[in-house]
Amino acid sequence: MVAKKSGARPWRGMEALLLVIVTAIGVLGFTLLAVGIQVQLKQNPLATVPAALLPALLVGASFAGIHILLRVRRVALEPILLPAVELLLTIGLLMIWRLRGSSGVWQQLLRGFIPGMLLIAALILRPHWIELVRRWAIPISLFGLALPIATALFGVTDETGARLALKLGPLPAIQASEIIKVVLVIFLAWYIEREGREATGRARPLFGWLRLPTLRYLIPGTLFVGLATLALVAMSDFGAVLILGAIFIGMLYAGFETRIFAAIAALGLVLALLMGVVLSFTWQVPTVIQYRFLAFRDPWSSQQIELNGQPSGVTISEGPGYQIQQSVYALIAGGVTGTGLGFGSPEYVPLAQSDFIFAAILEEMGAVVGIAVLILFAILLLRILRIALLLPPQQVFERLLLTGIAIHLFTQVFVMVGGTLNLLPLTGVTIPFLSLGGVALLVNLAEIGVALALAQRLEAEPL
C-alpha cells in the first residue's frame, strides 16, 4: 500500500528542517575541528577549513538527495530515520578525521557511504527488490554462507593470526562477517514465513503448556547458524558469533508463539550445556578469548601472560588490559562536556577509530554527546520496529526482516559500548554508522534503505 499523497509534504518538511540542522552541525563541527588542530600546530587556523568542509557538505547533499527522492515518491512516514542516521554519521566522521585525518574520512565515504547511499536510493525507487530477496533467499543464503567459509580457508591473516577479510584480486577486502549477519536475517525471515505456520500447527505438547515443533523444522536454521559459527570461529571472529546468536534467538522469539519459543529455548539451553561439558574436556579456549576475559576481570592486573605454558614477560596491564585502561582514562578525561574537538588524546586508545570510537567520542565530546548518541540509536531502533508493527500481519517476511535488522543494530551497539566501558568482555565489533569500516557502513545503510522502502507500503497518517 503506497503512502497517501496528502500526508507526504508536512512530514517531509519536518525531515528537511532536521536535515538542514544536522548538516549545519556537521559544517560547524568540521570547522571547529580544523581550526583546533591548526591552533595546536601553531599554523594558520583557516588553512585547512575548506578541505575539512567537503565531507560535511557531501554528506548533507547526499541526504538531501534521498529526501528529495522520498518527496517524489510521496512517502509520508518516518521523517526521523534520515536525520538520525546523518547525525550519527557526522559524529563518526568527525572522530575519524580527528584520529585518521582526511584519508580515513575519504576511505569511509568512498568505500561505505557513497555505495550505501546509492543502495538506499535504489531500494526506495525499486521497493519490489525486497520481494526478489524473498524469492531468492536460498541462493543468497548459500552465497552468504560461502563467504565466511572461504574467508576461514583463504582469508587474509592479520597481525593477531585472525582471518577477518577475503581478498579477491584487485578488489577491496571483503569483511565476510558483516555480510553473514544480514544473510542470516534474510534466511530466518524466509524460513519462518515459509515453515512457521506449519511448524506451529504440528507442534507437539511438551510438559503441558509448552509445545515443541518436530525435528525437521529445527534442523535448517540450526544447521545454517552452526556452519556460520564454525566458519567464524575458524576466522577467530568471536564478536560476530555473539551477534549471530542474538539474531537467531531474537528472530525465533519474534517468529513463534511464546510457548513454542520457550520450548525451543529450553531444548537449546540443554544442548548448549551438554556441548559446554563436552568442549570443556576436548576444546582449548582460544588464547584471544582468555586474554579478553582476563582483561575484563582486571585490566590493571600485574599477572603475567603465559604463552604455551611459559611466562611471556608481559602483564595483563601491559597487554590486553591496556586498551581498556586507555578507554577508561578517556572517559574520565572527557567528563560531562568533553575536552573539545582536537584537544584530547584519543589517539592513545588502540583502534580508537573503529572498535573504540565511542571512547574517543566520550573524551572529546563528553558524556552529554555520548548519551545523546545512545538516545539516537534507541530512536532509530524504535522507528524501525514501528514500521515492522505497522506492516500488515500477512507480510511476515517483511516484518521479520525489519525485526532482524533492529536486533542486529541493537546487539552491535550494546556489545561494543559495554566493552568500551568495561561492562562486558571485548568482542571486536564496530558501532553502526560511527566506526571506520567500509563494508560495515554499507551494510548498515542498506538496512536503513530496507526500512525506508517498506515504509512506502504504509498509510500516510502516523499512528
Residues forming beta bridges with residue 394, ordered by sequence position: none
CB-based contact 427:419 (threshold 8 Å): yes
Closest CA to 1 of 462, 392, 386: 392
pLDDT tens track for 319-368: 888 889 999 999 999 999 998 888 888 888 888 888 889 999 999 999 99
Beta bridge partners of 156: 165
Confidence of residue 23 (pLDDT cuts 50, 70, 90): very high
What is the phi/psi pair of residue 443, to 5°?
Answer: -65, -45
- Domain limits of the chain? 137-285
Higher pLDDT: 415 or 428? It is 415
The answer to whether 394 and 400 have CB atoms below 8 angstroms apart is no
Average pLDDT over residues 174-203: 83
What integer pLDDT is reported at residue 84 of this predicted model? 96
Are 3 and 459 in contact by the 8 Å Cβ rule? The answer is: yes
What are the residues whose beta carbons fall under 8 Å from the beta carbon of 287, sequence distance 6 or more?
307
Q: Which class for 399: exposed (0-12), middle (13-18), buried (19 or more C-beta within 10 A)?
A: buried
Which tens digit of pLDDT belongs to each residue from 156-177? 766 555 667 777 766 667 777 8
Cα of first residue to Cα of last residue in the chain, in angstroms, is: 16
Q: Are 425 and 396 in contact (CB under 8 A)?
A: no
| Residues of the chain above pLDDT 70, percent | 89
3-class secondary structure per residue, the chain: CCCCHHHHHHHHHHHHHHHHHHHHHHHHHHHHHHHHHHHHCCCCCCCCHHHHHHHHHHHHHHHHHHHHHHHHCCCCCCCCHHHHHHHHHHHHHHHHHHHHHHHHHHHHHHHHHHHHHHHHHHHHHCCCHHHHHHHCHHHHHHHHHHHHHHHHHHCEECCCCCEEEECCCCCCCECHHHHHHHHHHHHHHHHHHHHHHHHHHCCEEECCCEEECCHHHHHHHHHHHHHHHHHHHHHCCHHHHHHHHHHHHHHHHHHCCHHHHHHHHHHHHHHHHHHHHHHHHHCCCCHHHHHHHHHHHCCCCCCEEEECCEEEEEECCCCCHHHHHHHHHHHHHHCCCCCCCCCCCHHHCCCCCCCCHHHHHHHHHHHHHHHHHHHHHHHHHHHHHHHHHHCCCCCHHHHHHHHHHHHHHHHHHHHHHHHHCCCCCCCCCCCCCCCCCHHHHHHHHHHHHHHHHHHCCCCCCCC
Number of residues that make up the chain = 463
Residue listed under C-alpha cell 538520525: 84
For all residues of the chain together, what is the average pLDDT?
85
- What is the pLDDT, as a whole number, of residue 1? 41
Give residue-wise pLDDT tens across range 72-94. Answer: 888 877 889 999 999 999 999 99
How confident is residue 308, by pLDDT bands cut at 50, 70 and 90?
low
CA pair distance 94, 88, nearest whole angstrom: 10
Report the greatest alpha carbon distance in the chain. 77
pLDDT of 162 reads 63
The reported pLDDT for the residue numbered 7 is: 45
Alpha-carbon distances of 107 from 51, 53, 101, 168, 433, rounded to whole Å: 15, 16, 10, 19, 14
Tell me what pLDDT residue 354 has.
84
Q: What are the CA-CA distances from residue 388 to residues 207, 359, 376 (Å)?
A: 33, 32, 19
